[in-house]
Every structure is written in structure tokens, then in C-alpha cells.
Structure 1
Amino acid sequence: MTAVQGITVDIPTEDGVADAYLVHPGDERPRPAVLFYQDAFGLRPHLQSMADRLAEAGYTVLLPNVFYRNGRVPVFDLPEFIDPAANPNTWQQIMPVMKALTPELAMRDAGAYLRFLADSPLVADGPVATTGYCMGARLALLTAGTCPDRVAAVAGFHGGQLATEEPDSPHLVAGRVTAEVYFGHADQDASLPPEQIQRLEEALTAAGVRHRCEVYEGAHHGYTQADTPAYDQEAYERHWTALLDLLERTF
């Protein structure tokens, strides 16, 4: 297993400074980069451990605090084990912050994250990959459609609201995506009903995007998050297989 080094970095954006977790193999050679988008609960130890695992596989990984406008990490006062059903205040903290991060703001930030990676001596020349979880799956797809020349691979897991009927729905960027795309949906996920899964599939197919969308049977929204009740070990390991396969094909 490759030893990795992780540090906190500050990334200048058009609206301030985003704190982020940057982790890379310890030899400090330039490696392909992965822009890792958080879920709604924010940048925290479990997500850092996931970024570490990606770095162990040979990648430089940037995990930004996408809620930086609301403060540095930790943005929310959450327990080590996050169970919103047991604490109704959880979503009261998070929802206003999520809603304030519009696609326009998020993609302005994406440009800053991609510039940071392009300038880093720890990142190999060429395009990057994006991966995201829950709301991060939306951000990963939007980034690929907004910056198609910079993103060669997109992965999203238990993403919600990926193909709504709203004018800013993520699936509407499909025609601009040049990356290979993989989605691992949860079949027990009210935030991504079957009609949205179908709409996303149809949009990617119509745009000629090389992609694969799979539904993880029995998995719930948040199945990769070991610090929540939604965690599913089997689905979690399946997601790693799919993600690493995608990255190996890309890089």
C-alpha cells in the first residue's frame, strides 16, 4: 500500500478562499488528479479517509470544502456518527447552506479548483477526473459539462436530483460532456426516483456520452458513508471497484 501525505490547503476563488484537503502519494511525483466532491454533511474524517484511499491507488486528490462561504471546516456541528433521524436539527443546519450553493456559484468555484490542480507540482499534465457523493454527484457532472476540456472522467454515487424538470438540472449539461461517465445509483433513494434515472440515461445516450449507469440493489442514499446509518459495506466496496476501474481506463 502506498504511503500518502495529506494537508489542508487554501484555494483562492472569486468569492473568497476555499479550504480543502489535498492528499497524494508520499513520493511527491506528479500524479493524475481527482477532484472529489463532498456530500451534504461536509468535509470530515470519513471523506478524508476515502480521499486517502484514492491517493493510495496512485492519484493526487483534492477534496474542497464547497461550503466555504459559510466558514472553514467544520461548517456544521455534527456528531461523529451522523443520524439525522435522531437529530432533527441536522437538516435545519444544512439545508439553507445547500440551497445557497447554486450551480452558478459551484461552477465558479470549480474553475478555481481546476486551476489549483493545473498549477500544482503534484499533478500530472492533462485533464482530471471528478467524483462525487450525494450532492457531490451533481457537482461532478456539472463540472464535466462546464469544463469539458479539463475533465476526462466523471463518477457519481447515490446522487440525488440528477435529472429533474428544473431548468438548471445537471443532466442538461450532457451535450457538453466529453468525459467517460459512471453513476452508481441507490435503488432505495427517494431523491432519485426511477423517472429521473431514466431521464439521465436518455440524456447521456442522446448526447453520445460514453457512460454506464448501474442501480445498486438494496442500497440506500448515502451507502458509501460509513459514519451514517445508510452505510452498506457491500455497495461501498462495489463503488470502489467501479471508480478505480474508471480511473485506470482514463489514466
Structure 2
Amino acid sequence: MLIQSHIVDLPTPSGVMRTYVHRPAGEGAYPAILFYSEIFQQTGPIERSAKIMAGHGYVVLVPEVFHELNPIGTVLAYDDAGRDKGNADKAAKAVTAYDADNAAMIAWLDQQAFCNGQIGAMGFCLGGHLAFRAALQPQVKATACFYATDLHSQVIPNPPGQHSMERLADIGGELLMIWGKRDPHIPAEGRARVYAQLSAADLRFTWHEFNGQHAFMRDEGERYDPELALLGYQLALGLLRRALR
């Protein structure tokens, strides 16, 4: 499917949020995916991943997750400086601020003729957590979380009672949780804790642990695993097709 890309700057309570839109080029109304990047914002690998999903018939929105902390258009490099800046931004933004970002994107989609009102979410690393956070929105019917960081920890600032794992009762859609067993950022005991909490909450979720490293979906760098990446896309597309079409 041919796609087109454009930019929209959305107002949020904490300032303008640049959002990259990738969607089918043909006429018609399509389901949407709120698509969340790593701490580096929309890098080349994130843009390519978003376009892959758009090419399967989805309106894909990629927000600048740290829009209130950086100039519009900021992309951090996959190096030590970029990692340090991204982690500092992650530690500076409260998890509840992402709720307003999600609401802004959903409100904008409601006004677009090319969106049919069916909404899912997907993300990698920090974005896996933010996709999980988006699942708290009642409009989000399916969510694919790839190696979601900090669900098992308290790194992201959380007001009392607002940690994402403390709000499982607000998740109404289906979850797809994908992990790498060789991921040092989310150890086995952390994954086990998340699994136990999702099970206790009786949520609808599918769980996959692959023999991959952190960021095995990123098509840049030595941790990229093309075979696992293809499988990951297939699993996400299967979930979204079942839930949104």
C-alpha cells in the first residue's frame, strides 16, 4: 500500500507536541495507531517502523514524547550523549503528562475523515511503556508493547497511585507483550512481576519472550535481529487486525 507522510503540531497542556503522521495515500477511512518511540524520538528506525505499519493500512501517529523538554523537531542520536539526554528527559517528565498527550492525539483523530475511529497503540522501549500507558484510554482497543521499560520499576516519576501498573483496572483492550530474554534493562524477575500483575488483574494479553537483546526491533546497530523483528511485526499486525478491523 502506498503511503504519505505529513506533520501536525498538536496543542497539549504542556505545550505544542509535534506529531508525525504516516498513512495510506488512497482515499478512505482507516484504523489508527498511536506509535511511541524510544527515548531518542523519531529517529530513522522509528520512522521506518511507523511506515511499515502505515503500509498495512493504518494511520500512524508518532508524537515527540519529550516535546516540552526539547525544541520542536529534536532527534537524539544513538550515542552516549543522546542516551544521557533521553534518560534525563525520561526522569523529568511525569507519567501522567503522557495521558494528556494521548488525549490530544485521540481528539485530533476524531476530527479526521481518514480515521474510522478504531484506535490501537504500539511502541518500543520507553515507547513500549507509553503504549501501555495509552491503553488506559478507553478508545484504545489493542496495544503492542515491545520490551517496555520501567513497568517493573519506579524510574519514570509517578504521582501516588499513578504508576502504570497501579491502573490496570483502566485497561479495557487487549495487550501484546513482547520481551527479549537477553535484555539487561528488564531482567527476568522484572518480567515475572509484570506477568503476575497482568494475570492477577485478569487482563486479555498475549506474552512472548524471545532470545533477543534490548532493541532487537531497531534496524540500526548490532542488537538488530531481522528474523525476530519480522516476527514482531507479524504479531503486532495480527493483534491490530483482529481488534481494529
Give the structure 1 partner of residue 233 of structure 2. Answer: 240
Deviations 1:186-209 (A, max 9, x none): 111122111221121111112121
Give the structure 1 partner of residue 209 of structure 2. Answer: 215
- Aligned partners of 2:40 and 2:83 also within 8 Å: no
**TM-score (structure 2 length as normaliser):** 0.91
Matches within 5 A, 1:199-214: 199-214=193-208
Matched, 1:171 2:171: no
Give the structure 2 partner of residue 143 of structure 1. Answer: 134
2:144 pairs, out of 132, 155, 162, with 155
Cα distance, 1:177–1:91 mapped onto 2, change above 3 Å: same
- Aligned partners of 1:163 and 1:170 also within 8 Å: no
Secondary structure of 2:30 counterpart: coil
CA distance in 2, matches of 1:92, 1:27: 41
CA distance in 2, matches of 1:47, 1:28: 25
Secondary structure of 2:239 counterpart: helix
Give the structure 2 partner of residue 54 of structure 1. Answer: 53
Secondary structure of 2:89 counterpart: helix
Matched, 1:180 2:171: no
1:109 pairs, out of 101, 123, 128, with 101
Match of 1:37, as an amino acid? Y
Question: What is the aligned residue count?
Answer: 238
CA distance in 2, matches of 1:44, 1:7: 15
CA distance in 1, matches of 2:188, 2:240: 27
Give the structure 2 partner of residue 13 of structure 1. Answer: 12
Give the structure 1 partner of residue 224 of structure 2. Answer: 231
Percent identity over the alignment?
25
Match of 1:203, as an amino acid? Q
Once the 2 structures are TM-superposed, how far is the Cα of residue 237 of structure 1 from its aligned partner? 0.7
Secondary structure of 2:148 counterpart: coil
CA distance in 2, matches of 1:202, 1:163: 11
CA distance in 2, matches of 1:185, 1:245: 17
- Aligned partners of 1:163 and 1:169 also within 8 Å: no
Structure 2 unaligned regions, length at least 5: none
Runs of 4+ in 1 over 4 A off after TM superposition: 165-168
CA distance in 1, matches of 2:178, 2:151: 12
Once the 2 structures are TM-superposed, how far is the Cα of residue 169 of structure 1 from its aligned partner? 3.7
Give the structure 2 partner of residue 130 of structure 1. Answer: 121
Give the structure 2 partner of residue 38 of structure 1. Answer: 37
Deviations 1:61-81 (A, max 9, x none): 1111111111112243x2xxx
Give the structure 2 partner of residue 100 of structure 1. Answer: 92
Once the 2 structures are TM-superposed, how far is the Cα of residue 224 of structure 1 from its aligned partner? 0.7
- Aligned partners of 2:39 and 2:83 also within 8 Å: no
Structure 1 unaligned regions, length at least 5: none
